[in-house]
Structure 1
Amino acid sequence: MDREQILKLYAWELGACFRHPAKGEVPTTHVWTVRTAAGDTQDIRACEECVIAMENMRRETAYRRGVEYEPGRVSEA
């Protein structure tokens, strides 16, 4: 799959990327939720660049483990 095909597997909305907050509001997708020390939850979002980087890491890990890589599942990693 190419970059655009992978990005189409995710739901996008404006938000702040967890790695690039200085970029401001950019298209992001939800990648996980964390619980704060106060007991609240905080959604963690990633921009397109970060999602592609995470997908590449998942692909490499799958290859090393000898398992099938299935794109579109960054939040499950």
Structure 2
Amino acid sequence: MSNLMLKASVNAKVWANTSVQRMKARADQGQGAVEYLGIIVVVVAIIGVLMTTNFGNAISTAITAQITKVTGGGGK
């Protein structure tokens, strides 16, 4: 194989590997933002459900009762 053919072959292989690596990196780039957006949507939905039902008040009352029980009453 001549030097010119070897050089062309090596350049083509390097270009192909570099292109594949760039494409893989580009495909993963926005994944973090989409995942964070999904988490935010779930949290907002949970908060919305808790605000529109009496379940939020029940949780608040239970937490307050346990804090009062641990602290021994009125906190004095």
When normalised by structure 1's length, the TM-score is 0.30
**Structure with max Cα Rg:** 2
Higher relative contact order (CA 8 A, sep 6+): 1
The structure carrying a bigger strand percent of its residues is 1
When normalised by structure 2's length, the TM-score is 0.31
The structure carrying a bigger helix percent of its residues is 2
